[in-house]
Amino acid sequence: MEELIKRIMATAGIDEGIATNAVGIILGFLNKEGPEDKMQLIFDALPGTAELVASREQESSGGGLLGGLGGMMGGGMGAMAALNELNSAGLDMDGVQSVVKELISYAKEKAGDDVVDEVISQIPGLSQII
């Protein structure tokens, strides 16, 4: 996890807190929208990430208005809610893309291209962002 955060900090030019928060937001979104078996393989390959996502989900279990709407509306709204969270965390669109690309690259190195590509292909519209 530390290696991933450092790579994202360097690539996106952001501090550790923002990088960690962004990873949690993105993986939480993927975990909700992607295939459970493939996400488990990714979590297994990236030690510490499952705990990060679980802790974020516990903190935001109240969900707020956007979180609640995103959950009710499914994938498209979930993506918009995640993007809103990333923006609120201090990332502009270029920052979001830098973090996502580095996270995907790192996940492919650790979990394999096929596993990560399967998750991406199962989430409508995600391939256009990355």
Residue 111 lies in a domain: yes
pLDDT of residue 124: 81
Split the chain (130 residues) into runs of 10 and give each run's mean pLDDT. 96 96 95 95 96 86 46 58 92 94 97 96 78
What is the distance between the alpha carbons of residues 59 and 73, in angstroms, rounded to a whole number?
21
What is the distance between the alpha carbons of residues 110 and 37, in angstroms, rounded to a whole number?
16
SS (H, E, C) 34-91: CCHHHHHHHHHHCCCHHHHHHHHHHHCCCCHHHHHHHHHHCHHHHHHHHHHHHHHCCC
Residue 46 lies in a domain: yes
Length of the chain: 130
pLDDT of residue 17: 96
Closest by CA to 130, choosing from 16, 6, 26, 2, is 26
Q: Max CA-CA distance within the chain?
A: 36
Closest by CA to 81, choosing from 95, 67, 99, 93, is 67
Domain of residue 44 covers 2-122
Residue 127 lies in a domain: no
Q: How many domains does the chain have?
A: 1
pLDDT of residue 11: 96
Residue 92 lies in a domain: yes
Residue 24 lies in a domain: yes
pLDDT of residue 78: 79
pTM: 0.86
